[in-house]
Each structure stands twice: as structure tokens, then as C-alpha cells.
Amino acid sequence: MRYARVLFTLPLPEPFDYAIPEEMHVEPGSVVRAPLGAQERLGVVWDVCEEEDGLRELKELYASYPSPAFSKPFRDFIDWSAKYTCSNPGGVLRMVLRSPASLYPSKMETVVLEKPSTEAPKRLTAARERVLEFVKGNPPMTQAELGREVGVSTSVVKGLVDLDVLGTDYRPIDPPYPVPNAEGQGFELTDEQESAAEHLRRRVREHGFNVSLIDGVTGSGKTEVYFEAISEALRADPDAQILILLPEIALTQAIMKRFEARFGARPVEWHSGISDADRRRAWREVAHGRARIVVGARSALFLPFPNLRLAIVDEEHDGSYKQEDGVIYHARNLCVARARFEKFAVILASATPALETLHNARTGRFDYLRLAARPGVSRLPEVSLIDMRSEAPDRGDWLSPVLVRNMADVLSAGEQSLLFLNRRGYAPLVICKACGDKLKTPGTESWLTEHRYTNRLVCHLTGFSMRRPAACPKCGARDSLMGVGPGIERVAEEVRTKLPQARIELLSSDTIQSGDDLRALIHRMEQGQIDVLIGTQMIAKGHNFPGLTLVGVVDADASLKGGDLRAGERTFQLLSQVAGRAGRAEKPGRAMLQTYDPDAPLMQALAATDRDSFLACEEEMREMMGMPPYGRLAAVILSFPGEDEAARLAKEFGMVAPNADGVEVWGPAPAPIGVLRGRWRWRFLVRSELNVDLSAYMSVWKAALRLPAQARLQVDIDPYSFL
């Protein structure tokens, strides 16, 4: 008896066995529908086996979908990812099969086309004549589309079809994507860029697993260099597929024009901002190997590419590659793992690589390519520190006089300024002046952010939103609520007061509602229609504004607060990236950082543009403490909807931690965000030596205690968040 082992898209630990009906064709990797309990469920055949005696009574598979089977290396990658992240493989598979409608071929629609040999109708009205004239030389389209293009009713077109003057045909509603041109011409490369590009071309031609790091200063042409690798992959294999991962949707929009100009076809997009129809089409075309270049966010890593030959992780240091809920993973790390299973090349690119990535490059695990200069006449911006102790803003303001003067000079010269503050809204905290109460999200220890433009208080952690009350919810005092601290809305208010003639716009996830909004804003900035752009980390990387000559960082110290292991590294990366937006054309650029601690080594390194000395100090500290990349970390969050029970469970869970050489367990301790959505949270931090299989250790610990149904246990391998 042949039977299939089916893994479902549910948080289940292993596949289930099902009999294969004689008339059904399935193979390992086929997507199927099968009974599970009283319901039908979607799953994938993980293996096909034979049982000689056939005595087991197995339920039969219901159906097999007409979609290409997942390859063995891809299935192995899913299994490995589940073990590495201490998740169930069904949970990982669910990230792959999020669009069941994509499993079917595209629906067809009827289109109208020219019939050259047909005589004109006897009654040739002006409307009919316009339709017949338009269809000559234009591609086929539906009756409705043709009517709209010509400006006639659909009945006019239908009449010509009924008279057999126009022909009809069928086309898929979701047509294939245009094929990119591998021979498209790019910019002339400098000697330094050409050397890096030739190395990448050679690595792509090897058709095997390898990882290369492009470590290039902002504006050094990293994108043009990896474009050469993409061209080589398309030339070397006519069916090759290429994946480019980007950390932000904003970067996706910014880079699409450059791809289209170079390769003659717009890449396929995959991120949360695309429609369901576009998602369905993209998944189907990827699975069939017809989507050749895909640009997407971290979830694009789990698309079922049958012939992935090259993957690029741009801005590889960015924390947005870390998925913090559901299956917790870092897309950069899993991309390298997938390449190992499926034998393709990986390129990591950044102006400020992660310390772990640099360590791998310097120790020979990754190829190391340096781009130390900007091409042409553009130069790196001059970075200066503004000591806020001696250059204090006016009372109630947040911009120092020296920064405002420089912005005024830039405005007078017809150039552009950018102000960076990684806080959305008007004020990050709302407090009652009467009773001192800080407004928080119900059931959560998270402060509400004031958004004055919409007159709402918003929790950026949970999404909770409410109208700004007229009175304090706790003491009832009217007109007593006060915003504390600046967000970008408050900074914009100040700039309007100081520079009333300036054209000011905001860029954050609150102010941009769609990809079209973002494209329009970037276009206005590129065309010089904005004098001062104020934004959050969405403006920190990937954009090229020729008229931008001054970058001001409102609060350079902000991201150093808290107990984050990577706080210093992240701050250096973020501020280096945002400073690098200035002076990317002929005019020189400057970056001015407002800080209350200008003597700190990190600030001095930023001012000197001396990344290597800062990283050397950071690396020495990590090595002394046995922290990544010299050790490994895992975090555990245990939560429960009752304060006392949560504390008791955390203590019990800590008691069953396995004893193992080379492993230290710290905790339990209340999480920094102690209550979230009505659940009390306790956390552990685990450090291990590099030779310890930390994922296996955490899986054993996770299984050591049977928790009540309402408890949740979240394991995070290589944590980036410490909240």
C-alpha cells in the first residue's frame, strides 16, 4: 500500500499518514487536501512510502492541487528552520502556503482582437469606426477595457463581436510577468566596483553555495555592483530566479525604477502592501518558475522558488529582518541557511554591516568585498556634534539654535534639509498635570503616543487607538493632559515657526498610507518640491535625493537607552545611514547630530567617520562577555493572564532548566514591558558557548514542563528585542 506523509499548515510537530487513492497522482512535495478531525486541511506531502502488509486503515487524501511540488531541499530547509527556531514545522509551512488561491491556474477572460480579413459592417457608425481604428495595432483587451479606451459603451463593442467583425480570444486574468533582459546596460563602474562585481560574477557562475559581503560606504554603488551579479545569473541560466530582500517597503518602492531601467522589466513585488490579487499572482508565478526577479520583505524568503540561483540581502544589518511574532526568525540568517540547502549564492550588502556578519567575513566564512569610496564627485558628508548642554534650545523647543541657523542657510541656498527623529506622532507620552497619571493602553504597560493631526492617542505596540479625551480618565481634571517629549509632528510644528517660508513634509508609517503615497512623496523630494523632510527610520536608508545637503538628527542619544545588547551598534548603524543621505550629488553634504554626551566614544566615532575603531571596542566588549559573535543567545518570554500565576509558572519553568556545560540561564525576571494585552510577562535570557546546539537545548527545556492552556511560551533564538 502506498501512503503519503502529510505535513499540515498547523502548529503540529510531525506529518500524518494518509492512503493515496489509486487514481490520484501525488509525489513528495505535492500540495494536497486531506481530512483532519472533522475538517479538511491544506498540507504538503512530505514523503511517499510503501507498506507491504497494508493492514493499517488510513484515511484517504481528498485532492491534489495542480501546483508544482516543493523540492526536497526546500522541504529540508523548512524542517531545519523549525528546529532552529524551536517551532513546529507546520508553523513554518504556514508561512509558505498563505494564499491557497495561488495553487490553481489563473482564471481566463475573453478579450477582443482585430480580424483583418473581415469586411466593415454595413451600418458603420462613428462609434464603431473609432473602435475598429483603435484595435489596429493595439493589444487585445476585454470589451469593457476597449470601451473605456475608445470612449464608447460596451454594447458598441459587443455589437461588432456579434457581427463577427471583431474576433475573440482568451487570456489569463493573471498574465505572466515580463522577462528581464540580462544584457541591460548599467553605469560605468569604477575600478573598485568592477573588482567586486567580477568576484560576484565568478561566484554566481559556480552554481554552488557561497556568501559574499559587500561592505561599502553610503553612496558607494553597492546596488550597481550586485546588479552585475544579477545579470550574470540571468545569463548563466535562462530559467534562473533571483530574490532581493529589503527591510522596508519604502526601499522596495525606491529601488523599483532602478531595476526597470537596468533590466527592462519591473521586478515582482512581495510585501504586506500588495493586494490579494497581486499576492496570488506573484506566488503562482514564483512556484512555476516564471517570476524571474522578486523584490520583497522578509517573508519573501519563504516563497517556493524552484530554481533560486541568487539571493541578495540589502541593508543586511537592519533589525526589520527579525520577525518578532509567530515563528520568530531572522531573514538574513535563514537566507544563508536556505542557500546551503539549495546550493545558490548569497550577497549581503550594507554600509554598516552587523558585527556578526563582519566577524564571519573576517574569519573567512564569507567573502569580504570593500567599497571604500563614493564614485564621481560626491563625497561622504562632514559629521559634526551639537552639544545640547551649551547649545540648548529655547524653552519648549527641541532644535538647537545652531541647527536652525544651518537649516536657514540651506533654505536660502535653494537646497534641502532632512530632520531625523525615530518617534512617530506629536509626543511619545501623555501625562496628567493634575494627578501625574501616564496614559497607557488598557491591559498593557505601554504608553500612548499623542497624534495631534488626528487628535488621537495611539499605542504603536498593540495598535490600540482612542480619541484624545478632554479630561483625565483617572482624576477627571479637564484640560490637564500634556504631551511630553517630541515626535516628528512636534518637530514639524517647531520648524514651521522658525522657518515659515519652508515647504515641510513628514515621512513615517503614520503619514504614508500606500505605495502610491510614498512614490509621490519621494518624487516631490527628488524634484526639489520639499525644503525640509522630517521623518523616522523610513528615511534613513536607500533614498537618493540630489538636492539634500543637510541632515539633522534631533535626538542622537535616543536609541542608546534601555538594556539592549546591540544598542550601541544599532545607534551607530542608524545614524551613519541617515547621515549618508546628505551630499550624494555634486554639492557637499553635512550631518549635524544633537547629543547630550558628545564625549561618548560612539559619538566621537560618528564625528570622525571612524566605524572600525568603534566596532573594535564593541567587539572587544562582546568577546569579554562571551556575547555574539563569540557566544550565542536565546530569550524566553512566558506569559499568563494572571499576575500571581505568571510569577509562579516562571519560577517552575526556571526550576526545570536542563543542566548543560557551556550554558548559562539568567532569570526569571519581569519583562521590561511587564503587561501586554492583559498578560503578565516574565523573561529568561540564555547564553551559550559557540559549540553548544542552543536550539536543541531550548527545545528540551521547552518540553520539560507541561504548561496550562492559557500560558504562552515564546522562544527566540538570537534575540534582537529585549522587551
pLDDT (tens digit, 9 = 90+) per residue, 440-496? 888 887 788 888 878 888 887 777 889 999 999 989 999 889 888 888 999 999 999
State the span(s) of the chain assigned CATH 3.40.50.300: 191-371, 382-423+486-619
Share above pLDDT 70 across residues of the chain, in percent, rounded to a whole number: 98
pLDDT at 385: 94
CB atoms within 10 A of CB 377: 10
Burial classification of residue 574, based on how many CB atoms lie within 10 Å of its CB (0-12 exposed, 13-18 middle, 19 or more buried)? buried
CATH class of 191-371: alpha beta
Report the C-alpha gap between 387 and 402 in whole angstroms.
10
CATH superfamily of 382-423+486-619: P-loop containing nucleotide triphosphate hydrolases (3.40.50.300)
Per the CB < 8 A criterion, the answer to whether 644 and 650 are in contact is no
Length of the chain: 723
Over the stretch 66-75, which tens digit does the pLDDT of each residue have? 999 999 999 9
Q: Does domain 632-717 have CATH number 3.30.70.600?
A: yes
108-172 CATH, one of 1.10.287, 3.30.40, 2.40.30, 1.10.10: 1.10.10
CA 367 to chain centre: 24
Could you say which DSSP state residue 317 is in? T
CATH code, 2-97: 3.40.1440.60
Report the C-alpha gap between 221 and 259 in whole angstroms.
14
pLDDT at 54: 67
pLDDT at 184: 86
Residue numbers of the chain with a pLDDT score lower than 70: 54, 118, 250, 376-378, 541-542, 561-563, 585
Per the CB < 8 A criterion, the answer to whether 35 and 58 are in contact is no
Burial classification of residue 39, based on how many CB atoms lie within 10 Å of its CB (0-12 exposed, 13-18 middle, 19 or more buried)? exposed
Over the stretch 394-448, which tens digit does the pLDDT of each residue have? 888 999 999 999 999 999 999 999 999 988 888 888 999 899 888 988 888 778 8
State the span(s) of the chain assigned CATH 3.30.70.600: 632-717
pLDDT at 568: 86
